A and B are shown apart, each in its own frame.
Chain A
Amino acid sequence: MEKKDDLRPRFLTLLEDMFAHPPNAREVKQYRFMHTSGTTGIPLPVVCTGRRDCNPAFLGRGTRTLMLFGSKPLRLDFARTFADPDTPKSDIMFCSLTTSAQENERIWREWRPDAIASPPSVLLRFTRAWPENARAQVTSVILAGEFVSKVVSDIIHERFQHARIENYYPATETGLIGTQCSLCAWNEFHPVDGVTFSIHEPDADGRGDLLLSKENPGGIAFTDYRVGDVASESNHNGHRVIVLYGRRGFDYIKLAEALLVREEFDRVAMELERYIDDYRAELTTRIEDGVPKHHLTLQVIATPDATRTGQALADHLAAEVSSRLFVTPHSTLKDAVENEIFAPLTVLLVDTITHTTAKPQRLIRVDA
């Protein structure tokens, strides 16, 4: 099984080749500098040649395409694809959740996007205040970059009733992994041409680590690569499909607006060791007023000599953890609560921590 760290020397070799044989002015267009998000440790700098194989999926869907992906190298790559004079014509605009309400209104009122590509939770937040006529002019919605739960999928279909909704399964380092057909459920994907997959050590329900193999012209080839998602296998008319369950089972939870990392929870718990003996963090995501809101619950076994007890201790820990725990490189949980991305932290003081999985985990998503 290949892991992300195994890829590092191979991408470095590609870079060294490029330095040894610098591309000429025409050839530079073949190269892309990107990096992975760093969910499994430090980011992986990636150099690729050729066009990302998932980019054509975003073309020809409209004439005014709004893109809500945050990754800067990814934005550049999309922009280059749209700039290619041989591709179907569409203007393109990149926005994020920091876009002001006034600017957001100017976008739907004046520019009137007819196609949107976005991680699902960002889409729901960004279009939250759009009136019905603004949503109705959207004829194409393309989802990627984040696990789509059934409840989110249902809301997107309800909100964009006039749009064709497509869901793609890509990764920065591998490119496109899966696409959906009309028969696919919200979490089922057909592997694209050149991709084969297997499930590593499936449990009784058939769920396990998704391992990919992919020939990757313009990049590196992958063999039994652990992409970082949990999946099982299903069958559509003799075709094997990937059934995706998200990133449950690892030491991080990736969200469109935040990244919860177990080491960060450990760091904060260490800072508060005067109060915290052990903990377990559980994340659920609920739809409230049409947008997803993340609820974090911390089960805490308090130290015997904690100077506070009961609700006073729970309230104190909720405040302390919220202001210390970073959920993005620059935002604490407290910031995310103020921005209504997270609900206020719930701290439960317990005598014994309940584990719902065979392997005790300190950070877990419980609604996947």
Chain B
Amino acid sequence: MDTQILNQLIEQLYTSEEGGLYRTFWGKRPEDFSTLPLLTPDILASTSLYDRTYSRDQGLVRSVATRGSEFLVKRSFVDIAHEHLPVPSGSRALVLTTNPDDALEYALWCYEHGSIPYYGDVGNVEVAVFCAEHFRTNVLITDNVTIASLITDARIPSMIELVVIIDRVHSSDQTPLLATERVLYLPETGCLGRIESTTDGLVLLEDGRVFAEVLDDTLVVTKANATTPLIRYKTEIAARVERDTIYLV
């Protein structure tokens, strides 16, 4: 995302007839992206959902809890479809995550990208795995808590060839004997990029829809979601920059 696009985006938001968050938050018309104040979960929580809604596209509404704030978020179906997830087209994906709203988003994404999802209930893993075997699911979309539990209980369906771990926190642990992809994803932002495990740590790979910065050892992201664009959103994710590469700490 280059500077010109970022400046166009903030001008659009400032003059938009929908929403009102940024006009209120920025006060005067912003002159330069780099001087914009940082948006935080607290500010999202103190702004009504309708003041944060910049598009009339229909979508999913869900609750989000960060460390200190809870608020409602709307994710339009268009925004969900535009995410980049490393799930191959033609696969059959078992989607099994602790948070049911996360799983629903990933399953909807699958349909838009040529994969048939089976949305399993993490509260009833036995049934989910039983049905996943019948459906011959070959990709598992999950989170860190769920994959740890599936490994401990030896319940990963037998035909799984790829595990995609989507979460807000990651470690460099490997999934035994299975190819694994990791994705950084926040419910309020959507996908922030794939993560690669290197000898120097976890690297956040570039995603064309996300502008990432590290300020005060924290990841700050800008993402032009249609419903609620996030401009300089200060995540609660610790990060550092080395040689233009962002590492998650």
**Which residues from chain A sit less than 8 Å from chain B, CB to CB?**
12, 15, 19, 22-25, 28-29, 31, 33, 35, 38, 42-43, 45, 47, 64, 71-73, 75-76, 79-80, 82-83, 89-94, 96, 99, 102-103, 106-107, 110-111, 329-330
Query: Across the interface, do A72 and B116 meet the contact criterion of CB distance under 8 Å?
Result: no
Q: In this complex, which of B103, B104, B115, B126 has the most chain A Cβ atoms within 10 angstroms of its Cβ?
A: B104
The answer to whether A93 and B60 touch across the interface, beta carbons within 8 angstroms, is yes
Contact of A93 among B62, B123, B130 (CB under 8 A): B62
**B31-39, B106-114, B176-184, B205-213: which lies at the interface:** B106-114
Selected A-B contacts with CB under 8 Å, 13 pairs:
A25-B114, A45-B130, A72-B104, A82-B58, A89-B56, A91-B58, A96-B100, A110-B49, A110-B72, A111-B49, A111-B61, A329-B127, A330-B124
Most chain B beta carbons < 10 A, residue from A72, A82, A90: A72
B49 to chain A, nearest CB (A): 6
Contact segment of B131-139, B144-152, B235-243: B131-139
B193 at the interface (CB under 8 A from A): no
Residues of B within 8 A of A42 (CB): 130
Known: A24-B114, A43-B131. 8 other contacts (CB 8 A): A12-B134, A15-B134, A28-B115, A29-B111, A42-B130, A43-B130, A106-B71, A330-B124
Chain A residues with Cβ below 8 Å from B104 are 72, 75-76, 79, 94
| B19 sits at the interface (CB 8 A) | no
Q: Are A19 and B56 in contact (CB under 8 A)?
A: no
Supposing A76-B107, A110-B49, A330-B123 touch, asked if A45 and B58 sit within 8 A by C-beta, the answer is no
Expressed in whole angstroms, the Cα–Cα distance for A195 and B136 within the complex equals: 32
Count of chain A to chain B residue pairs whose CB atoms are closer than 8 Å in the complex: 108
Give the nearest-CB partner of B111 in chain A: A29
Residues of A within 8 A of B117 (CB): 33, 76
- Decide: A329 and B63 in contact? CB cutoff 8 A: no
- Which residues from chain A contact B118 at a C-beta distance below 8 Å? 33, 73
Give chain A's interface secondary structure class: mixed
Interface size band for B: 35 or more
| CB-nearest residue of chain A to B94 | A33
Q: How far is the CB of A152 from chain B (nearest CB, A)?
A: 25
Contact A72 B119 (CB under 8 A): yes
A45, B134: Cβ atoms closer than 8 Å: yes
A72 adjacent to B100 (CB under 8 Å): yes
A106 touching B63, Cβ below 8 Å: yes
Which residues from A are CB-within-8-Å of B131? 33, 35, 43, 45
Q: Are B61 and A92 in contact (CB under 8 A)?
A: yes
Judge whether B201 is part of the interface by a CB distance below 8 angstroms.
Answer: no
Q: Which residues of B contact A106 (CB under 8 A)?
A: 63, 70-72
* Interface presence of B83 (CB below 8 A): no
- Among A64, A71, A79, A330, max chain B CB count under 10 A is at A79
State A79–B77 Cα separation when bound (angstroms): 9
* B101 in contact (CB, < 8 A): yes
Q: In the complex the two chains form, what is the Cα distance from A90 to B72 in whole Å? A: 16
User: Which chain B residues numbered 131 to 186 have a C-beta less than 8 Å away from chain A?
Assistant: 131, 134-136
Question: Quick one: which of B58, B89, B119 contacts A73, CB cutoff 8 A?
Answer: B119
Are A28's CB and B127's CB within 8 A?
A: no
* Chain A residue nearest to B115 in the complex (CB): A28
Please report the C-alpha to C-alpha distance between residue A19 and residue B159 in the assembled complex, in whole angstroms.
13
Of B56, B119, B135, the residue contacting A47 (CB under 8 A) is: B135
Q: Report yes or no: B61 in contact with A22, Cβ–Cβ below 8 A.
A: no
In contact, A28 and B111 (Cβ under 8 angstroms): yes
A residues within 8 A CB of B56? Answer: 89
Q: Would B120 and A80 count as touching, CB distance under 8 A?
A: no
> By CB atoms of chain A within 10 A, which of B60, B116, B127 has the most?
B116
Is the CB of B121 closer than 8 A to any CB of chain A?
Answer: yes
CB-nearest residue of chain A relative to B101?
A: A94
Chain A residues, CB < 8 A from B116? 23, 28, 31, 33
Closest A residue to B92 using CB positions: A33
